Amino acid sequence: MTQATRRKAWSVVLAGTGINLALGILYTWSIFKAEIAGNVAFGWDKDVLNDPYAICCVVFAFSMILAGRVQDRFGPRVTAFVGGLLVALGFVWISQSTSYWVWNLGFGLLTGMGIGFGYSAATPPGLKWFPAWKTGMVAGIVVSGFGLASVYIAPLATWMLGAWGLQSTMLFFGIAFAVVLSLLSLLLVNPPKGHDPAKLFPRDDDGEAAPAAVVASGGDVAPSRMLRRPGFWVLWTAYAVGAGAGLMVISSVAGMAKSSLGELAFVAVALLAVGNAAGRIIAGTLSDRIGRTRTLRLMLIFQAVLMFVAIPIVGAEAPGVLILVAIATLIGFNYGTNLALFPSLCKDRYGLKNFGMNYGLMFTAWGVGGFILSRVSQMLVESAGNVAGKYTWSFVTAGVLLVGAAALTLLLGERPAGAAEDEEEPDQVLGAEATVAAPLGRTPHVGG
């Protein structure tokens, strides 16, 4: 029975990963944009080519709040199915039109909302099947699919556009979404009542007890209470900076790579995607070992150092191929860590009962940070003109913000294990890290 239940638990995780592997088509917009720009039937102005993508990102981020509420109330299966249906409808609709407004509504609104519903349903059921000391690893595996998607979707879309054209390619993706996401949604189920994940997975693979700081959550906290806690806004700000700083540089990687790699610039983009996925798994697993906030601080500092190291490289007239590819991969890695650490932090601090809506509220930081900092980056690049160091100030800005975000995490401590569910105290605000390795069932002293 135990082995069968374990297989069930892993099937839920793999289904969530598969859903994200499909939803990651968001990252291939640059390929569709290039096709639109070269197609006289569209006739769009160049300054509006990114509008459907920008709308999709904003709708994705904020629809996570509604989608999270639906997930909490009706479960992941219904939520993922609705998400797949919305994405499919969006792609089928735009396959029949070249209208700017249809693409904004179809790709921007419908697809963005569908991605939000599917993404919000992929992670929570997996977390419920596994104990707290595997939260980071499970979250990292599930969300890695979104980061890895462009590795296969980009070349597939490129081939299909050349063979079938844009409209037929969009229709294919619409039908594929309807079929694949509907089938995968059937595998997303919450564990039965009375399920004890600690008995199913009693210890880590190395046989050692997990750190007490990640053994138990801080209780089930309602969204309204969460928003009143100062710790939430510290996390929200760090998320906006960490994700936004990564996105503002990622959006320029293809352009930077062209000067060194030419037609092979897609290699840097593909390796960035691999690093993106790897960062989610590695950071999530590491946080299970040493604590969430300690891992978050470490990754923010690493990302800041990387930004400053990259300045002379991107400022060179002809940066070296190998070093540029390495920088792209590491930037993708650091960006990816945010997508595993923040859902894990949300679950640890605010519980699973309202996880869907709580993380939806926290995820708005991704949309706001990405939108603002990407715009700032573009303004800095344009103001620099056509010079070798035009990307320099983007990296300087990102590095400074990341140092500030890392310092901000010093206000956070790990949640103590076994905190009462009806606890009314605000999040622990500490001057030092409180992660303590301790046997299961024992609670370390944390703060006052």
Residue 411 burial by CB count (10 A; 0-12/13-18/19+): exposed, middle or buried? Answer: middle
pLDDT at res. 257 = 57
Residue at 435 is within a domain: yes
Cα separation, 351 vs 219, whole angstroms: 5
Cα separation, 143 vs 17, whole angstroms: 6
Provide the CATH number for the domain around residue 373.
1.20.1250.20
Which position has the token pair 């007490």? Answer: 212
- The DSSP string of 146-207 is HHHHHHHHHHHHHHHHHHH-HHHHHHHHHHHHHHHHHHHHTT--PPPTT--HHHHS-S-TTS
Q: How far is CA 46 from CA 33, 49, 98, 376, in A?
A: 10, 5, 15, 19
Whether residue 144 is found in the same domain as residue 101: yes
Residue 353 burial by CB count (10 A; 0-12/13-18/19+): exposed, middle or buried? Answer: middle
In the chain, how many H helices and how many E strands? 17, 0
Contact (Cβ atoms closer than 8 angstroms) between residue 43 and residue 95: no
pLDDT at res. 254 = 55
Contact (Cβ atoms closer than 8 angstroms) between residue 252 and residue 306: no
Residue at 195 is within a domain: no
Q: How far is CA 162 from CA 77, 157, 166, 175, 343, in A?
A: 36, 9, 8, 19, 39
Residue at 202 is within a domain: no
Residue 10 burial by CB count (10 A; 0-12/13-18/19+): exposed, middle or buried? Answer: middle
Q: What is the dihedral of CA 426, 196, 3, 14, to 10 degrees?
A: -30
Instruction: Fill in the DSSP letter of residue 412.
Output: B
Each of the 448 residues of the chain gets a pLDDT tens digit; together they read 588 888 999 999 999 999 999 999 887 887 888 889 888 899 998 878 888 988 998 899 999 999 999 999 999 999 999 999 999 999 999 999 999 999 999 999 999 999 999 999 999 999 999 998 899 999 999 999 998 888 888 888 888 998 999 999 999 999 999 999 999 999 999 999 888 888 888 765 444 444 444 444 457 899 999 999 999 999 999 999 999 888 777 665 555 555 555 555 566 667 778 888 999 999 999 999 999 999 999 999 999 998 898 888 766 666 666 777 787 788 889 989 999 999 999 999 999 989 999 999 999 999 898 888 877 877 777 676 665 566 788 888 889 999 999 999 999 865 543 343 334 444 444 333 333 233 333 333 223 3
The C-alpha angle with vertex 366 and arms to 374 and 377, in degrees rounded to 5, equals: 10
pLDDT at res. 267 = 67
Nearest alpha carbon to residue 46 among 55, 31, 36, 56:
36
Residue at 196 is within a domain: no
Give the distance, in angstroms, between the CA of residue 160 and the centroid of all CA atoms in the same chain.
27
Phi, psi of 419 (to 5 degrees): -60, 145
Contact (Cβ atoms closer than 8 angstroms) between residue 377 and residue 244: no
Nearest alpha carbon to residue 246 among 360, 330, 145, 361:
330
pLDDT at res. 153 = 86
Cα separation, 85 vs 110, whole angstroms: 9
Nearest alpha carbon to residue 131 among 347, 339, 277:
347
pLDDT digits (tens, 9 = 90+) for 266-324: 666 677 788 889 999 999 999 999 999 999 999 999 999 988 988 887 666 666 667 77
Give the distance, in angstroms, between the CA of residue 253 and the centroid of all CA atoms in the same chain.
18
Cα separation, 254 vs 266, whole angstroms: 7
Nearest alpha carbon to residue 277 among 15, 16, 83, 17:
17
pLDDT at res. 314 = 67
Cα separation, 227 vs 221, whole angstroms: 10
Cβ neighbours of residue 26 under 8 Å, at least 6 residues apart? 53, 56, 57, 60, 111, 115
Rg value, the chain, Cα: 22
Whether residue 286 is found in the same domain as residue 362: yes
Half-sphere exposure of 153 (CA within 13 A, CB side): 28
Cα separation, 49 vs 313, whole angstroms: 30
Whether residue 285 is found in the same domain as residue 144: no
Cα separation, 447 vs 389, whole angstroms: 47
pLDDT digits (tens, 9 = 90+) for 321-364: 677 778 778 888 998 999 999 999 999 999 998 999 999 999 99
Residue at 446 is within a domain: no
Contact (Cβ atoms closer than 8 angstroms) between residue 288 and residue 136: yes
pLDDT at res. 250 = 67
Whether residue 262 is found in the same domain as residue 400: yes
Tokens of 146: 């979104």
Query: Across the chain, which distance is largest between two alpha carbons, in Å?
Result: 68
Whether residue 380 is found in the same domain as residue 346: yes
Domain count, the chain: 2
Phi, psi of 429 (to 5 degrees): -115, 110
Whether residue 249 is found in the same domain as residue 113: no
Q: How far is CA 300 from CA 218, 293, 314, in A?
A: 24, 10, 20
Of 162, 190, 218, the residue at which a domain comes to its end is 190
Whether residue 25 is found in the same domain as residue 107: yes
Whether residue 51 is found in the same domain as residue 119: yes
Residue at 327 is within a domain: yes
Whether residue 308 is found in the same domain as residue 400: yes
Residue at 174 is within a domain: yes
Whether residue 346 is found in the same domain as residue 436: yes
Please state the pTM of the whole predicted model. Answer: 0.82
Q: Is the dihedral of CA 46, 48, 49, 54 positive or negative?
A: positive
Residue at 366 is within a domain: yes
Give the residue numbers spanning the domain of 397: 210-441
Contact (Cβ atoms closer than 8 angstroms) between residue 402 and residue 245: yes
Whether residue 309 is found in the same domain as residue 357: yes
Whether residue 88 is found in the same domain as residue 217: no
